[in-house]
Amino acid sequence: MEELVALLREKGYKITPQRRAVIAALLESEKFPTAQQVLEIVKKTNPDVSLDTVYRNLGLLIELNIVYEINTQSSAGNVFEIVHIHHEHHHHLVCLVCGKTECIDICPVNQDYIAEVEKRGFEVTGHTFEFYGKCQKCREAKS
């Protein structure tokens, strides 16, 4: 937590109580929370915070590579995780039935792809990749 706060300060961002609460909510969530779930946690200490404020803070944290947004393709919305400090670059499995999200320690993008893209004069600054499907539990429930 304090490391993340220090990083934000270093980059010239003010640490508002809301911003601190958003980071704390992400850190204390057991599973990956949606923006709505982040809001519910933040509201316990900052009752006046709006969903808008949560989105704005999440947007900033994403830009700074502190938070990663996982596209769940679900109506409940995308989920978020703290990536800075705790994880190396990695990707996710998303269950389209129950919404369960899991980290997976592989990256399908290799240097050949990057080289191919750079041939076009394009500078790569990042990529996203998610596996979609059915988790083991949901598969077992069906059969």
Which residues contribute to the site for Zn ion (CB under 5 A)? 81, 95, 97-98, 100, 103, 107, 109, 135, 138
Q: Which of residues 6 and 107 has its CB atom nearest to Zn ion in the complex?
A: 107
Minimum separation from the CB atom of position 77 to Zn ion (A): 17
Collapse the DSSP code of 48 into the 3-class scheme (helix H, G, I; strand E, B; otherwise coil) and give the result.
coil
71 Cβ contact list (under 8 Å, min separation 6):
78, 94, 128, 130
Collapse the DSSP code of 20 into the 3-class scheme (helix H, G, I; strand E, B; otherwise coil) and give the result.
helix
How far is 22 from 102, CA to CA, in rounded Å? Answer: 21
Minimum separation from the CB atom of position 99 to Zn ion (A): 7
CB 116 within 8 A of CB 46: no
Minimum separation from the CB atom of position 83 to Zn ion (A): 7
Q: Whose CA is closest to 45, among 30, 28, 62?
A: 28
Q: Which of residues 64 and 109 has its CB atom nearest to Zn ion in the complex?
A: 109
Minimum separation from the CB atom of position 133 to Zn ion (A): 9
Q: How far is CA 108 from the centre of its chain?
A: 19
Q: Which of residues 15 and 107 has its CB atom nearest to Zn ion in the complex?
A: 107
For the chain, what's the residue count?
A: 143
Q: Which of residues 19 and 91 has its CB atom nearest to Zn ion in the complex?
A: 91
